[in-house]
Amino acid sequence: MSHASSLDHHQEDRNDPQFGKASIGKLAMWIFLVTDAMSFSGFLLAYGVLRATQDWPHPAQYLGINLSGFATFILVCSSLSMVLAIDCCKGKDRQGMLNWLLVTIAGGVFFLGIQVYEYQHLVHQGMTLANFAHGNNLFASTFYVITGFHGLHVLTGVIYLICEYRFARQGRYDNGDYNRLEILGLFWHFVDLVWILVFTFIYLL
């Protein structure tokens, strides 16, 4: 039974004209993601050097780790919903695709809402981009620069998702061509993966 299921799966892959192929759009997105990963790597490396060489407060004393942990969970779940949206597109399930795209959009918006709430709380506690009332100002600066840079990516991703959702409603993916959604998925998964690294380095360590 398992062998028959495996054969069916391989047959389905052979019938998929996009299986095992990289479109120009996918290659361009991968190139962009590699260069973008270098930017995040530079920020996190600078953060690590500053933290290792200067008097640094413990993040757990000032940052909302529990709330940000919940936001991380929401963002990771939105990656799953993105995968399900692409899967529905492959199966020409238009309504399912639209529903899962909406769930993904909602996850991104919810994450941004939590981030804005956290920023407001931190500013009220004396932590701004240029000043940290409880210690080293660089702690505040690096926190806002890195998390803000990532937040800009999430905002871009949400706008990207909304545009593709609009195209999906117009019927552009009714033929099962999921290439554009897969390119969007690459960007969204990257944003989620980077946040896991940012959350670990800045909030937990």
Q: What is the CATH number of the domain that holds 144?
A: 1.20.120.80
Paired residues of 132 in beta bridges: 127
**pLDDT, position 9:** 45
Predicted TM-score (pTM) of the model is 0.84
Decide if 13 is inside a domain.
no
For 150-174, how does the pLDDT look when each residue is reduced to its tens digit (9 = 90+)? 999 999 999 999 999 999 998 888 8
Decide if 105 is inside a domain.
yes
Decide if 70 is inside a domain.
yes
Instruction: Count up the domains in the chain and report the number.
Output: 1
Structure tokens at 69: 């942990």
**Can you tell me the distance from the alpha carbon of 23 to that of 183, in angstroms, rounded to the nearest whole number?**
9
24-53 vs 137-169: helix crossing angle, rounded to 10: 160
Decide if 107 is inside a domain.
yes
Decide if 30 is inside a domain.
no
Amino acid of residue 99: N
Decide if 59 is inside a domain.
yes
Q: Give residue 170's domain range.
A: 36-204
**pLDDT, position 20:** 53
pLDDT higher at 81 or 15: 81
